[in-house]
């Protein structure tokens, strides 16, 4: 009977530990912005309904660039209703030796958001969270400037999960410049099972030097149990170990 009880206890604690480790799953879908309605570089979201990025929404003046297009062929933009234009970023492909690479360190597509002209957050609804647990967010980001304009800029992001907000930047950016990609890490505590993950570009100045904040490789993981839960797991395994040692001692003296 004691052996059966010990086995059940081990099974229960193992299941609890497994459930905790399962919370390390990825909560963001399409964090690399690779899945899109059209295979072109363009503005996307409610301002440009013909192009959508799977699982992401936006009402801002925001763009998705394919590899190597930001400073060459550019992206389609709707600057006025039914009036299209091509938007590019300064880079080696259009005369600025600022080090802008073809793709971010995450590879493939990346997003570029303008924080002054029709700003709007890039958002995704996250499900499966546990209230009170901590989640780790990581992403690649950088600052750039729209081709055809001159003047120093600065860029950053305000990042929110539910009502909790953290920021990166602003970082200064030389005229016709590129800041280089940077990896950001931050932690959020969930307040419910479903919350909105939001990225709002920040930067300036507004006057004729359009800054662009770049984004890619968004990942949200974690959700480990509270310290009290881990303590219960550790104590539980310690108790089972003591039980096994007692049974071995009894058997040895019998």
Q: How confident is the model at residue 20 (pLDDT cuts 50, 70, 90)?
A: very low
Which pLDDT score, from 0 to 100, does residue 209 have?
A: 86
Question: pLDDT band for position 10 (50/70/90)?
Answer: very low
- Beta pairing partners, 64: 42, 111
* pLDDT-derived band at 250, boundaries 50, 70, 90: low
For the stretch 142-166, pLDDT in tens is 999 999 999 999 999 999 999 999 9
Q: Looking at residues 40-52, what average pLDDT do you find?
A: 96
- Give yes or no for residue 2 having a pLDDT over 50: no
Q: What is the predicted pLDDT for the residue at 247?
A: 57
Select the more confidently predicted residue: 132 or 9.
132
Given a contact cutoff of 8 angstroms between Cβ atoms, the answer to whether 53 and 64 are in contact is: yes
Q: Is the pLDDT of residue 236 over 50?
A: no
% of the chain exceeding 70 in pLDDT: 76
**Bridge partners (DSSP) listed for residue 86:** 76
What phi and psi, each to the nearest 5 degrees, are found at residue 128? 85, 15
Q: What is the CATH number of domain 25-224?
A: 2.60.120.260
Higher pLDDT, 188 or 229: 188
Averaged pLDDT, 180-209: 94
Crossing angle of the two packed helices 227-253 and 2-22, in degrees rounded to 10: 150
Kindly state the average pLDDT of the residues 75-102: 90
CA gap 40, 90 in Å, rounded = 19
pLDDT > 90: percent of the chain: 73
Residue 19 has pLDDT above 80, yes or no: no
Other beta carbons within 10 Å of 119: 17
What is the reported pLDDT for 80?
A: 63
| Spans of all domains in the chain | 25-224
Q: Give pLDDT tens digits for 112-124.
A: 999 999 999 999 9
Residues whose CB is less than 8 angstroms from the CB of residue 113 and which lie 6 or more positions away in sequence, other chains included: 58, 60, 61, 62, 63, 119, 122, 199, 200, 201, 212, 213, 214, 215
pLDDT at 232 over 70: no
Helix (H) or strand (E) holding 155: strand 153-161
Report pLDDT for 16: 41
Strands 83-87 and 75-80, sheet pairing: antiparallel
Residue 12 confidence (pLDDT): 42
């Amino acid at each position: 009977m004691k052996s059966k009880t010990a086995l059940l206890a081990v099974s229960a604690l193992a299941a609890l530990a497994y459930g905790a480790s399962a919370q390390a799953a990825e909560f963001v879908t399409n964090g690399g912005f690779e899945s899109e309605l059209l295979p072109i570089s363009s503005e996307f979201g409610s301002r440009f309904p013909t192009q959508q990025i799977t699982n992401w929404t936006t009402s801002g003046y925001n763009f998705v660039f394919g590899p190597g297009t930001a400073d060459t062929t550019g992206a389609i933009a709707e600057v006025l209703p039914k009036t299209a234009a091509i938007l590019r970023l300064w880079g080696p492909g259009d005369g600025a030796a600022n080090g802008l690479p073809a793709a971010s360190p995450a590879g493939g597509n990346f997003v570029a958001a303008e924080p002054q002209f029709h700003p709007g957050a890039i958002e995704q609804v996250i499900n499966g969270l546990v209230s009170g647990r901590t989640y780790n967010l990581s992403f690649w980001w950088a600052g750039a400037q729209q081709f055809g304009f001159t003047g120093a800029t600065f860029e950053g992001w305000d990042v929110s999960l539910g009502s909790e907000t953290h920021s990166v930047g602003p970082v200064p950016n030389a005229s016709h410049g590129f800041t280089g990609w940077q990896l950001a890490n931050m932690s959020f505590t969930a307040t419910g099972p479903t919350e909105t993950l939001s990225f709002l570009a920040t930067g300036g100045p507004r006057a004729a030097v359009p800054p662009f904040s770049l984004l890619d490789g968004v990942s949200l993981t974690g959700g480990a149990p509270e310290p009290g839960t881990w303590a219960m797991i550790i104590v539980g395994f310690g108790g089972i170990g003591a039980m096994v040692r007692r049974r071995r001692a009894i058997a040895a003296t019998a």
